[in-house]
Amino acid sequence: LLEVHNLEELERSLDENVDAIGINNRNLADFTVSVDTSFSLIKSIPEEFLKVSESAISNPETIRQLKEAGFNGFLIGENFMKEADPGMAMKEFVGKI
C-alpha cells in the first residue's frame, strides 16, 4: 500500500511494482481532512490498482459512496479512538454499512 496525499504524489507513485494506492484525506499542511480528496484522485488511478481511502471517514454513508466510486478498502482510526469503547463503535459502524 503506497500512500499519497495529492495528485502530484499520485502521478509520481504509479509504478508496476505498486499494486495498492492509499489516498490520505488529511492535508499535511494544515491537518484538515476532506473525503473529497479521495473522490477527486480516484479518477487518476488505473483500474488494476487496489484503492484505499484513508481518514475523514466518520459515517457509513461515506463508505457506501466511496465503494460506489471504486474504493476497495478504508482506513478509519480517529473516528473510533474518540469513543469510550472503540471495538464496539467499530462493530456498530460496520453493522450500518
* Per-residue pLDDT, 43: 97
Helix/strand/coil percentages in the chain, nearest 5: 40, 20, 40
Domain CATH number, residue 71 = 3.20.20.70
Each residue's pLDDT tens digit in the chain (97 positions)?
Answer: 999 999 999 999 999 899 999 999 999 899 999 999 999 999 999 999 999 999 999 999 999 999 999 999 999 988 888 889 999 999 999 999 8
The three cell numbers of residue 17 are 511494482
Domain that holds residue 90: 2-95
| Residue 65 contacts residue 53 (beta carbons within 8 Å) | no
Number of structural domains (the chain) is 1
Q: What is the pTM of this model?
A: 0.90
Output the pLDDT for position 73.
Answer: 97
* pLDDT at residue number 77: 82
Q: What is the pLDDT of residue 42?
A: 98
Distance CA 25, CA 29 (A): 12
